[in-house]
Amino acid sequence: MKHKFIIATLLVMALATMALAHPGKLDANGGHVDKETGEYHYHKGPNALQSLEILRNKVYKAKVERVVDGDTAIVSFIFDDGSKYLKERVRFLGVDTPETVHPNKPVQYYGKEASDFTKAQLTDKIVWLQTDVSAKDRYDRMLAYVWLKEPTEKDLDDEAAIREYMYNAKLLLEGYAQLMTIQPNSRYANLFVHFQREARQDNKGLWGKQSE
């Protein structure tokens, strides 16, 4: 009898702790506004992070929470109602900037410049993430082309729009990255070849320093 009383007491304490940690009733979407922080977040249901299935050939709105290096960032997905997911790591498709945070490699040539450029361009910005054939890589990172404005269907295949608004293209054109195609994600591979060639011919970024 004494053991049952102790178990019941522990259960009540656990439930009380959970209630304090996550104040607020869950809505139909499985989320709520935290009374202590005032922020909306999800716990369960169709909008919970664990049930998010990133689809191929789709465009997702997101906020860049933190830039990891020149070609990788942490983002939160944003819904039409203004609510957002927890964080997702995104690897930019079609490009490879010099390493700055690799656990087994030193900081590579022109890596800091590329990382600083991406931090200045994307940190705290709203972006649109376009997936290709494979939505994630073997490290469970989302793979995406990053747009600085919401692309229309026409923009997705328009070279002028890609040059102006796609960040992956900007990295190549300004010489902060080299071409790297992660198959089968090759939608813009031929175009990216031309962008890299332009940067190299114009001695942009890392190409200019290497030629000195």
In a 13 Å sphere around the CA of 168, the CA atoms on its Cβ side amount to 29
Judge whether 154 and 102 are in contact, CB under 8 Å. no
Rounded CA separation 204/212 (Å): 12
**75 strand-pairing partners:** 64, 88
Among residues 99, 113, 187, 200, the one annotated as catalytic is 99
Candidate list 66, 89, 141, 163, residue with the active-site label:
141
Cα 49 to chain centroid distance, Å, stands at 14
- Select which of 91, 113, 187, 200 is catalytic: 91
Active site residue 141: yes
Cα–Cα distance, 67 to 101 (Å, whole number): 11
Q: Supply the residues annotated as catalytic.
A: 91, 99, 141
